[in-house]
Structure 1
Amino acid sequence: MEHDLFISHASEDKDALVRPLAEKLKSFTLDVWYDEYSLSVGDSLSASIDKGLKLSSFGVVILSPSFFAKPWPEYEFRSLVALESGRAKRIIPVWFNVERDDVLNFSPHLADKVAVITSGKKLAAIALEIMRVVHPKKISTLARALAARIQAQSNTELVDVRELQQSPLREPLSQDQLRRVRLIHESLFEVYPISWEKIAGNFQRDAQEFRERELRSWEHIAGTYSGIKRRHNLSRAESQHLFQVLLRSSLGTLEGVTQEAPAWVIEALDDFHRRLPNAKD
């Protein structure tokens, strides 16, 4: 697939929700396609969505008063539901300024589908709810992605990743996991100064199947960071740059490093990607 998702919507909703939602999803590292899916009178809803699904893993449909005001024939909505017959969920309805009765009166087919409801929610919460369906693995890497973005903007005071607080807490961490988080927190605090409650909460928001992998990623970043900083006595600015390099490398978003880069950067990347001695796996 070329895109994680596309957004199908009435053109009247672009400014109020669609553009901000698309930008928020993009900031959460999702590949979003939406400009070509601003629907106008005379467009075929099912044909547009069918085309979008050929190029995207998921389709988000914004159901709103403006969307309902368009003269969609009932067969379009039956076609919309039929697109998912016999396959995994790929269409995500988003209710924008509408309630269940509005959707039910307009199309019982759409009312039966589990939807993302925007009423009373912040934009980040809506985006995270969509992201949990579209790409749950990326939810677990979001703390690293947001921290890397903040570092790239040369923000010397790393803010906590507040947008992650919109995601619900899951099962509590074990005592062993909490001890590992404590080592990560203490090792990186000077360049990632968020509170203990927030960093532990970030890990608790990870789904169980991704939590261990994310803990290992952060442990690897913290171990490499501590070793390089100790061996090279880095300044605060250099330490922040080192953290950014390691974050981006862990995400696979670091561009090639030239030989003109500081020796400690080249050493850090070599250390980060080298297999540790005495490893059994």
Structure 2
Amino acid sequence: MRRWFAWHYGVFAGLVPYQGTSMSNVFLCHRKGDAESVERLARELEAAGHAIWFDEWEINVGDSIVAEINKGLTDTAYLVLCYSEHGPSDWTDREWHSTLHRQLSGHNVRLLPVRVSGGRPPAILADIRFADLVSDWEAGVRDLLKAIK
């Protein structure tokens, strides 16, 4: 129901144009300090019809944090690495490192870097184009949606 409401509201309010009927599982990898911007991004991706794994929506009191993150990573087709001026954390490094390894090993998963505030991408991702939400939020979201099929 929540996904339908988000899609319905987003499409008919003109926030994000709906671009198809198939949904992709998208895992949002981020630092807690960026949660507000990342939640905004999560809502826009969800409104476009994608199933979003955002820790604040998925991990409940009493849940095993590690088990829930592992489940989210296992089921995802795309890991959106949200990097910022806050720099990396042990948690985010663990999430995106394992996803990059799976991608390079031929698994059906793709790492998509997104700049949510200042900061630079990790050195190993320097040659990969990123979605830039800092210079133009709407264009960055459109670029990201094009990459998510």
Q: TM-score, normalised by structure 1?
A: 0.35
Counterpart AA for 2:125: L
CA shift in 2, pair 1:108/1:72, >3 Å: farther
Partners of 1:81 and 1:4 in 2: CA distance: 16
Partners of 1:76 and 1:52 in 2: CA distance: 10
Match of 2:39 in 1: 19
Give the structure with higher Rg (CA): 1
Partners of 1:125 and 1:94 in 2: CA distance: 12
Q: CA deviation at 1:4?
A: 2.3
Partners of 1:28 and 1:74 in 2: CA distance: 27
Match of 2:25 in 1: 4
Q: CA deviation at 1:24?
A: 1.3
Counterpart AA for 1:56: T
Match of 2:54 in 1: 34
Partners of 2:135 and 2:127 in 1: CA distance: 22
Q: Could you tell me the percent identity over the aligned residues? A: 21
Q: CA deviation at 1:51?
A: 4.0
Q: CA deviation at 1:27?
A: 1.8
Match of 2:142 in 1: 128
- Is the Cα contact below 8 Å between 1:7 and 1:61 reproduced in 2? yes
Q: CA deviation at 1:113?
A: 2.9
Cα offsets for 1:133-181 (capped at 9, x unmatched): 112xxxxxxxxxxxxxxxxxxxxxxxxxxxxxxxxxxxxxxxxxxxxxx
CA shift in 2, pair 1:3/1:129, >3 Å: same
Q: TM-score, normalised by structure 2?
A: 0.61
Match of 1:238 in 2: none
Partner secondary structure for residue 5 of structure 1: strand
Partner secondary structure for residue 56 of structure 1: coil
- Is the Cα contact below 8 Å between 2:117 and 2:133 reproduced in 1? yes
Q: CA deviation at 1:29?
A: 2.0
CA shift in 2, pair 1:108/1:134, >3 Å: same
Counterpart AA for 1:134: I
- Give aligned pairs, total: 119
Partner secondary structure for residue 126 of structure 1: helix
- Is the Cα contact below 8 Å between 1:52 and 1:59 reproduced in 2? no
Cα offsets for 1:220-245 (capped at 9, x unmatched): xxxxxxxxxxxxxxxxxxxxxxxxxx
Partners of 1:3 and 1:18 in 2: CA distance: 17
2:74 corresponds to 1:54: yes
Partners of 1:31 and 1:25 in 2: CA distance: 8
Q: Tell me which protein shows more helix as a share of its residues.
A: 1
Partners of 1:119 and 1:125 in 2: CA distance: 10
Q: 1:85 aligns with which of 95, 99, 104?
A: 104
Match of 1:95 in 2: 115
Partner secondary structure for residue 120 of structure 1: coil
CA shift in 2, pair 1:90/1:116, >3 Å: same
Larger RCO, structure (CA 8 Å, separation 6 or more) = 2
Q: CA deviation at 1:71?
A: 4.9
Match of 1:117 in 2: 132
Q: CA deviation at 1:115?
A: 1.7
Q: CA deviation at 1:62?
A: 0.5
